Amino acid sequence: MDFEGITSLVTLWPEGFLSGGLKMYMVESKGGAIVCMCLALLFLGTWPALLTLLERRGRLPQHTYLDYTITNLLAAVIIAFTFGEIGSERPNFLDQVTQDNWQSVLFAMAGGIVLSLGNLATQYAWAFVGLSVTEVVSSSITVVIGTTLNYFLDDKINKAEILFPGVGCFLVAVCLGSAVHASNAADNKKKLSGFSGHSKYGAENQSMSPSNETHMNSVGKNDMENGLASVEKAKFGTALYLIQLENKRSIKVFGKGTVIGLVITFFSGVCFSLFSPAFNLATNDQWHTLKDGVPHLTVYTAFFYFSVSCFILAIILNISFLYRPVLNAPKSSFKAYLSDWNGRGWALLAGLLCGFGNGLQFMGGQAAGYAAADAVQALPLVSTFWGVILFGEYRRSSRRTYMFLAGMLSMFIIAVGVLMGSSGHRK
C-alpha cells in the first residue's frame, strides 16, 4: 500500500496521528489520542439522546435496543476489517483469530458483557432519573473506580498529580448534578401541584380542565403521532408538557419512587467502571496470562470480541424482555418488533455512534493510557446539551436550578481538560 498517497489526504490530522506504511493503522501520538477521545466524547454523548428520544415518542425500549445492538456490532466489524487488516508488521485481525490467545479474548468478552448490562440498565434509568443526571452519576462512578484501576494497570503512565485532581473535579460535578436533579424535581412538583387537570402526578385526569381539552384538540392527531411536536406545542417546561410526555412515553414514571431509578443508575455505573479495565487487560496482558511468544491482542481484535459478547447478551436479554418485560413496560413479540419501523433509523444510528465511540476511546487509550481515555466519561456534557435542545430539560426552572446547572457544566469542562492533560505515552 502506498501510504504516502494516503497521508496527503489527512494532512489536517495531528502529526503522527496514524502510524502506517507496512503496519496497520495505530494511534501512537498524544495529539492523535486526544482527537480520538474528543470524537468519542461526541459520539458517546449523543447516542443516549437518540434512545431517549425514541422512548419519549413511545417506542418500546426492547425494540429500540435490539436495533441499536445490531449496528453496534457492525461498527466493530467495520473497524476490525479496515484498521485491523491494513499492513503486516503487527498481527492483523484475521491472523489473531487463529492464535492461542483465548485468555485475552475472555477479558475482552467480559468487558463487553458488563458494558451491555450497563447500557441496558441506563435505558431504563433515563426514564426514571432523567438523561443528564443518569449520565452524570454513572460516569462519575466510572471515573472514580475505572480510572483508578486503569492508572495502576497502565503502570502509572499518566501523571498522577494531574489525573487525580481531574477525578476530584468529576466528583464535584456529581454533587452539583445531584443538586440540579433535586432542584429541578422540586420545580416540577410545584408546577404539577398547581395544575388543575393533574391528580397525584397522574395524567389520567388531564381532560378535566376545559382549557386543557381545547389545547389538546388543537394539537391534532398527526402531531401526536409525531411525538415530539405535541410536546413542543405544550411549551417546554410547563405542567401540560410533563403530562403529555407521560402519556406518550413507553416507560411510565409518574407516581413511582425514585429509589429504583437510582439503584439502576448506580448498577450501570459499576458496570461501566469495569469494562475499560477489562479491555485494558485484554490488549496489554498486564497479568501475563498469554504464553511466551503469543502477541497481545490488538485494539481492533479485542474490540471485535468485546462487541460480539455485548451483542449476544443484548439479543438474549431483549428478546426475553419482549415477552417478559421489566419495570411494567408493555409486552411485545418478535413479530411486532420486526414490523416496528417507527424510529428504527434513529436506533440504528445510535448503535453506530456508540460502536465507533467505544472504538475511538480504546484506540486513544492504547496510545495515551486508558485512564486518560476515560475522559470521555464526561459525556454528560454532550448529553446535557442534547437534553436541553431536544427535550427542553430545565426550561422554566428556578434560578437556583440554573445556577447548579451552570456549575455542573463548568466542572465537567474542567474535568475533561485535566484528564486529557494527564495523558502519558505508552512505551
Task: Tell me the pLDDT of the chain (427 aa) as tens digits.
Answer: 433 333 333 333 333 334 444 344 555 556 666 777 788 888 988 999 999 999 999 999 999 999 999 999 999 999 888 877 765 456 788 888 888 899 999 999 999 999 999 999 999 988 887 887 788 788 877 877 877 787 777 666 667 777 778 778 878 877 887 777 778 777 877 888 877 554 444 444 443 333 443 344 444 444 434 444 444 467 887 888 888 888 899 998 876 766 787 789 889 989 988 988 898 889 888 888 888 888 888 888 898 999 999 999 999 999 999 999 988 888 999 999 999 999 999 999 999 999 998 888 777 765 555 555 555 666 777 887 888 787 877 888 888 988 988 888 888 778 777 776 765 555 5
Q: Side chain identity at 255, as an amino acid letter?
A: G
Print the SS3 string covering the chain: CCHHHHHCCCCCCCCCCCECCCCCCECCCHHHHHHHHHHHHHHHHHHHHHHHHHHHCCCCHHHHHHHHHHHHHHHHHHHHHHHHHCCCCCCCHHHHHCCCCHHHHHHHHHHHHHHHHHHHHHHHHHHHHCHHHHHHHHHHHHHHHHHHHHHHHCCCCCCHHHHHHHHHHHHHHHHHHHHHHHHHHHHHHHHHHCCCCCECCECCCHHHCHHHHHHHHHHCHHHHHHCHHHHHHCCCCCHHHHHHHHHHCCCCCCCCCCHHHHHHHHHHHHHHHHHHHHHHHHHHCCCCCCCCCCCCCCHHHHHHHHHHHHHHHHHHHHHHHHHCCCCCCCCCCHHHHHHCCCCHHHHHHHHHHHHHHHHHHHHHHHHHCHHHHHHHHHCHHHHHHHHHHHHCCCCCCCHHHHHHHHHHHHHHHHHHHHHHHCCCCCC
Angle 131-141/259-284 helices, nearest 10 degrees?
Answer: 40
Burial of 388 (0-12, 13-18, 19+ CB in 10 A): middle
Predicted TM-score of the model (pTM): 0.75
- Give residue 260's pLDDT: 80
- Give residue 365's pLDDT: 61
- Which cell numbers hold the place of 168? 476530584
- Give residue 222's pLDDT: 43
Angle 160-193/239-248 helices, nearest 10 degrees?
Answer: 100
- Give residue 340's pLDDT: 96
Q: Side chain identity at 19, as an amino acid letter?
A: S
- Give residue 394's pLDDT: 80
- Give residue 231's pLDDT: 40
